[in-house]
Amino acid sequence: MGNQCQWHLWFVLAITCFVSQNYVAGELERVHLKGQPRNGNSSKGDGFLGFLVVGDWGRKGAFNQSRVAFQMGKIGEKLKIDFVVSTGDNFYDNGLNSQHGPAFLQSFTNIYKSKSLQTHWFSVLGNHDFRGDAEAQFSPFLRQIDSRWFCLRSFIVNAELAEIIFVDTTPLVKSYFLNSDNHTYDWRGVIPRKRYITNLLKKIVVGHYAIRSIGFHGDTEELVNYLLPILKANNVDFYINGHDHCLQHISDTHSRIEFLTSGAGSKAWRGDMKKQRREGLRFFYDGQGFMSLQLSQFDAHIAFYDAYGTVLHTWNAWKSLFHSSM
């Protein structure tokens, strides 16, 4: 009971501090991509949006991280991607020690070297990132080292066809406050749960933790209870996550939402699957890989790839996805 009370007290204090210090402007920081060049080759405004998604990757090239990165470069060139999304756990095992340490170069800059990957990388934090200096990943100093890097606790990318909300989901999971498994987590500046929920109004949402998953961690109870109803109410089309070290696609049986897991950027968990709640399951792969998402005004195309670039699963939606809902 003591820990429960402590967590609730922290939560109330965090709301007060956050509202007074961070939300004077009334919304999350926005990144506008309209009119920016695509990898130096062609300009935006062509009616298409394409990006790759990779998660749980930062291992200095080990556990097939370099192989996955190489294939991402090949697919990225083929699709002429606009940017890359990272679903968190960017640096293992314990995040970054500081903005000046070697891990950023060793696990990011020196690994993702292909020409097609020299574009925006939009990243959220995962639970492993909180074990180190979480705020180091937000530092402008990292963007001076590698201008591709962009990471905040939560933010919105305006990309013509879609507004993509990046949500810091780790603080929403109560167990990390009540049972840290002898790890120290950096909670400085964390946006509280209540503010997240009231700002999810668009079509694509990216977070580290899964809402639906048959992987090792399974469904995340807090997200099912608090986040999913908001996504449904606002007609979100895709929720994209990492955390489970696999690739998977689950369609919600009660709404339009497609749950897409891309957490296989390096170490994978072979044979680790939940047997319960498999309704809506379209695809599951327990090896390394990544995914792509291509959008136009009228359709969406999803593809999952393994570490050798082999297409494992595709899915198409033929509808007008990104009309204004506001």
Q: For residue 210, give the nearest of 226, 196, 223 by alpha carbon.
A: 223
Does residue 93 have a known ligand-binding role? no
How far is residue 209's CA from residue 314's CA, in Å, rounded to a whole number?
22
Q: For residue 163, give the nearest of 35, 33, 250, 44 by alpha carbon.
A: 33
Report the sign of the C-alpha dihedral through residues 308, 304, 46, 157, in that order: negative
Where helices occur in the chain by DSSP H, the ranges are 2-22, 65-79, 103-104, 140-145, 175-178, 193-198, 221-222, 228-233
Does residue 208 have a known ligand-binding role? yes
| 3-class DSSP assignment, residue 284 | strand
Does residue 56 have a known ligand-binding role? yes
E strand intervals along the chain: 29-32, 37-38, 42-43, 49-54, 83-86, 120-123, 149-151, 155-158, 163-167, 204-207, 238-241, 247-251, 258-262, 281-285, 289-295, 299-306, 311-318
Does residue 89 have a known ligand-binding role? yes
Q: For residue 201, give the nearest of 68, 325, 76 by alpha carbon.
A: 325
Q: Is residue 217 among the annotated active site residues?
A: yes
- Which residue is catalytic, options 32, 100, 120, 217? 217
Residues with Cβ within 8 Å of residue 41, at least 6 apart in sequence? 80
Does residue 245 have a known ligand-binding role? yes
For residue 219, give Cα distances in angstroms to 142, 222, 274. 33, 9, 10
Report the sign of the C-alpha dihedral through residues 37, 78, 83, 102, in that order: negative
Does residue 243 have a known ligand-binding role? yes
Place of tokens 């991607």: 81
Contact (CB, 8 A) for 231 and 260: no
- Give the helix/strand (H/E) hosting 63: none
Residue positions forming the annotated binding site for Fe cation: 56, 89, 92, 127, 208, 243, 245
Residue positions forming the annotated binding site: 56, 89, 92, 127, 208, 243, 245
Residues classed as catalytic: 217
